Amino acid sequence: MPLILVVDDQPSNIHALYELLVEDCEVSMATSGAEALAFCAQQLPDLILLDVLMPEMSGYEVCDRLKADPRTQAIPVIFVTVQGGASDEAEGFAHGAVDYIPKPFVDVVVKARVRTQLALKLASESFARSQIELFQRDKLASVGRTIAGIAQELSSPLGNALISACTLQDDLTHLRGLTDGATLRRSDLDKHLRVSEESVGLVLSNLQRTLSIVDSFLQSTADNFGDQRRSFSLLELIHEVVAGLASSLEAHQVHCELDAGDDLHLLSFRGALAKVLSTLVQNAVKHAYREAGGEVHIRVRPLGTDQLVITVQDHG
């Protein structure tokens, strides 16, 4: 059953409303504004029937405090008061009330207005839930379409890389047969070397295209769903980034030096930071050292108590 909080400094009024509503609702009571706010801090009612004229804290002030708190601002409030003039009703609505019932109240009117506000609240909550569910379904559908598109894009370069690898494997099998039979000629070796170079080149270029597609997908995912702020070891992250680039560093004969001092634990966006570091190191390897050989220095220095500077430096 819906929970209604009746707030009035007169016990007789509380009793009358309790008897009127208890068959259809769970009814709780408060005899002051302070009691009402304390109740709402512990439990959220579905509707509040609030007297305006109360000592110490008026109903208007209670309503203002409820509407100022994000946790309670959505609770509908109906003022129940002897002040039934048009200006009084206007002031009640200005303070955030959804309806106004003058005293002495008529039973059927109170029941009808309570029933209406509860139905409106239920409809509003149902609509909000449906909007959230619709958004989640749309998001999942979008993810599904994205994954299908990624799979389609990956099939071509991966297929080409597989064909090139198979060609290389067949050529090496043929070459092995020639060497075992002691019939290998210089022209055969040159031919097999050309096939090997072409096949390896095709494998590498298609794998690079695959990596580019995956990177694009990961960036899109981060942009749409966001990296989560969490605690992590900075040195561990840097070592992971460097390890992930080991093949590229080795191929270009680039050595990565780390100057970080003591380990630091950050509360930040791990994925985004890893992406930035990886991009900076890759740019250094690709553009600074066109000829083989070189060094990339990663330096970490604290800046005050809650900041740090990470420098990626090359000498190209």
Distance CA 117, CA 100 (A): 11
Identify the domain boundary among 225, 250, 283.
225
Q: Is the dihedral of CA 259, 260, 262, 263 positive or negative?
A: negative
Q: Give the whole-angstrom CA distance, residue 90 versus residue 122.
A: 25
Q: Are residues 202 and 296 in the same domain?
A: no
Range from 50-59, 155-164, 253-262 carrying the lowest mean pLDDT: 155-164
> In this predicted model, which residue has the larger pLDDT, 224 or 205?
205
Q: How do residues 25-38 score in pLDDT, each as one tens digit?
A: 999 999 999 999 99
Give the residue-averaged pLDDT of 8-14: 91
Query: Do residues 218 and 233 share a domain?
Result: no
Q: Is residue 185 part of a domain?
A: yes
User: Are 19 and 71 found together in one domain?
Assistant: yes
Q: Within this chain, do residues 79 and 166 fall inside the same structural domain, yes or no? A: no
In a domain, 19, yes or no: yes
Q: What is the DSSP string of 23-72?
A: TTSEEEEESSHHHHHHHHHH---SEEEE-S--SSS-HHHHHHHHHHSTTT
Residue 245 counted as domain residue: yes
Shared-domain flag, residues 30 and 76: yes
Choose one of 184, 203, 225: the last residue of a domain.
225
Residue 83, pLDDT score: 76
- What is the tens place of the pLDDT at every residue in 70-110? 889 889 999 988 876 778 888 888 898 888 888 888 888 88
Tell me the pLDDT band of 219, cut-offs 50, 70 and 90: low
Same domain, 93 and 54: yes
For the chain, what is the mean pLDDT? Answer: 83
Residue 11 domain-assigned (yes or no): yes
Q: Are residues 80 and 12 in the same domain?
A: yes
Is residue 295 in some structural domain? yes
The reply to whether 310 and 240 lie within a common domain is yes
User: 124 in a domain, yes or no?
Assistant: no
Is the per-residue pLDDT at 218 higher than 70?
no
Has residue 287 got a pLDDT over 80? no
Q: What is the pLDDT of residue 290?
A: 66
Shared-domain flag, residues 21 and 89: yes
Q: What is the pLDDT of residue 298?
A: 92
Alpha carbons 272 and 262: distance in angstroms, whole number:
22
Domain that holds residue 218: 140-225
Higher pLDDT among residues 287 and 58, named by residue:
58
Residues 12 and 96 placed together within one structural domain of the fold: yes
pLDDT at 40: 93
By the 8 A CB rule, do 88 and 80 touch?
Answer: no
Q: Are residues 19 and 101 in the same domain?
A: yes
Which range in 22-26, 227-231, 312-316 is most confidently predicted, on average pLDDT? 22-26
CB atoms within 10 A of CB 204: 13
Does a structural domain hold residue 134?
A: no
For residue 47, the model assigns a pLDDT of 94
What CATH number is given to the structural domain containing 288? 3.30.565.10
pTM of the model: 0.47
Contacts of 209 (CB under 8 A, 6+ apart): 157
pLDDT of res. 163: 83
What is the percent of the chain where pLDDT is above 90?
19
Least confident residue range of 1-10, 201-210, 224-233, 240-249: 224-233
Confidence check: pLDDT of 24 > 80: yes
105 backbone dihedrals φ, ψ, rounded to 5°: -85, 160
Contact 102, 82 (CB under 8 A): yes
How far is C-alpha 6 from the chain's CA centre? 39
Q: Is the pLDDT score of 7 beyond 90?
A: yes
**C-alpha radius of gyration, the chain, whole number:** 36
Q: What CATH number is associated with residue 91? A: 3.40.50.2300
Predicted pLDDT of residue 225: 52
Phi first, then psi, for residue 315 (nearest 5°) are -125, 25
Can you tell me the mean pLDDT for 292-299? 85
Instruction: Indicate whether 185 pLDDT > 60.
Output: yes
Q: Helix, strand, or coil here: 183? A: coil
Count of other CB atoms within 10 angstroms of residue 151: 10
Is the residue at 125 inside a domain? no
- Predicted pLDDT at 128: 76
Total number of domains in the chain: 3
The tokens describing 92, both together, are 């009640």
With pLDDT > 70 as the criterion, what percentage of the chain qualifies?
Answer: 92
